[in-house]
Amino acid sequence: MGGFFALILATCLGGILGCQLPHDWRPQTEACRAELAEIIVYAKVLALHKDSYSVYNYLPWQYDTDLFFSAEIELLCDQAWGSMLEVPAGSRFNVTGLGYFPCYSYSVVENNAYYFFLRMDENYSIIPHGVNFQDPIFPDTPENHRMFASLFQFANCTPGTQLHTYTPEWEAQEDSRLLCSTVQKALYEEEERVKTLSQKVRFLEKTNNHLRDKVKNMKRLLRQAKRETKEQTLSLKHLHDPVPLEPDQAPHPQQDTTQDQRKPLKKAFAKKPRN
């Protein structure tokens, strides 16, 4: 019961702290991830051992060793073709780095069989290989049997296992097969490229709309300036034009305004009077 509550606590704190995946992360199928896994084994869990605080156990409650453990496993078949670790069926070794972590859990049950994606770290410890940040441990189910049997052929399996055995012809067939992970990676890269282009298109559209608004504003200011210039021109014209006379001050229509209205002065001394 204590382990159950510890698991709930780890899950809740993991949700609070948050799990940050790469922005371009996409889920991958088990087939594609199997092609990228360093080591693939089909093994039975013989025993579980508590682990102390280590580089893999970085929870705040690191001294609660009930959350972290390693598993002693026994290979039920020879190593799957294509893996980096060459060990025969019946081999036993420990898988560490199991337990309940903030963003995931690598958990197994004693006396059960599993398919493991594993890798070797810099200290030569065998740990789960969470390819693409996904679960690397698969329970022994008919569906997983069919999936892994179609991907990898195992040799020298213990009695009772229903896995395909290794044949040389299968290796040649595997060499000629187009790798799912390569195709999927190319698709993801193309998807990321399209996403980048879409972002550029949205940016250009936003810039174009901004320029359109700017052009509209400039046109509006230009029309306003033209109106103000026209009004100023009319005002100046009214200032310089003569003021029209009132009707009673206007000259008579028959009056010759071109002639000087003043009469010529008479000679002051036209004739001298006689004595």
Provide the residue type at 80 as one letter: A
- Statement to judge: residues 160 and 185 lie in one domain: no
Number of compact structural domains in the chain: 2
- Statement to judge: residues 169 and 216 lie in one domain: no
Phi and psi at 118, nearest 5°, equal -130, 165
Asked whether residue 17 is domain-assigned, the answer is yes
Half-sphere exposure of 89 (CA within 13 A, CB side): 13
Q: What is the mean pLDDT of residues 41-66?
A: 70
- Statement to judge: residues 196 and 171 lie in one domain: no
- Statement to judge: residues 145 and 51 lie in one domain: yes
State how far Cα 237 lies from the chain centre. 66
- Statement to judge: residues 197 and 163 lie in one domain: no
Last residue of a domain, one of 177, 193, 225: 177
pTM, two decimals, is 0.58
Asked whether residue 171 is domain-assigned, the answer is yes
Q: Which residue has the tokens 């009695």?
A: 159
- Statement to judge: residues 97 and 127 lie in one domain: yes
At 9 the pLDDT is 39
Tokens of 155: 């040799």
The CATH number of whichever domain residue 63 belongs to comes to 2.40.50.120
Asked whether residue 241 is domain-assigned, the answer is no
* Structure confidence by residue, pLDDT tens digits, 180-211: 767 767 767 777 788 888 889 999 999 999 99
At 191 the pLDDT is 76
Asked whether residue 259 is domain-assigned, the answer is no
Asked whether residue 6 is domain-assigned, the answer is yes
Asked whether residue 26 is domain-assigned, the answer is yes
* Structure confidence by residue, pLDDT tens digits, 57-82: 444 445 555 678 899 999 998 876 65
Q: What is the mean pLDDT of residues 8-18?
A: 43
Last residue of a domain, one of 132, 149, 177: 177
pLDDT at 153 over 90: no
Q: Give me the chain's average pLDDT, please.
A: 75
- Statement to judge: residues 81 and 29 lie in one domain: yes
Q: What is the mean pLDDT of residues 251-255?
A: 58
Q: What is the mean pLDDT of residues 51-58?
A: 57
In the chain, % of residues over pLDDT 70: 65
Q: What is the mean pLDDT of residues 75-104?
A: 81
210: domain range?
178-234
- Statement to judge: residues 18 and 63 lie in one domain: yes
pLDDT at 16 over 80: no
Instruction: Report the SS3 class of residue 161.
Output: coil
Asked whether residue 23 is domain-assigned, the answer is yes
Asked whether residue 242 is domain-assigned, the answer is no
Distance CA 74, CA 108 (A): 13
At 74 the pLDDT is 95
Q: Looking at per-residue confidence, does 188 or 250 come out higher?
A: 188
- Statement to judge: residues 60 and 91 lie in one domain: yes
At 44 the pLDDT is 95
- Statement to judge: residues 28 and 163 lie in one domain: yes
Tokens of 17: 């702290």
Q: What is the mean pLDDT of residues 245-265?
A: 56
At 137 the pLDDT is 96
- Statement to judge: residues 89 and 188 lie in one domain: no
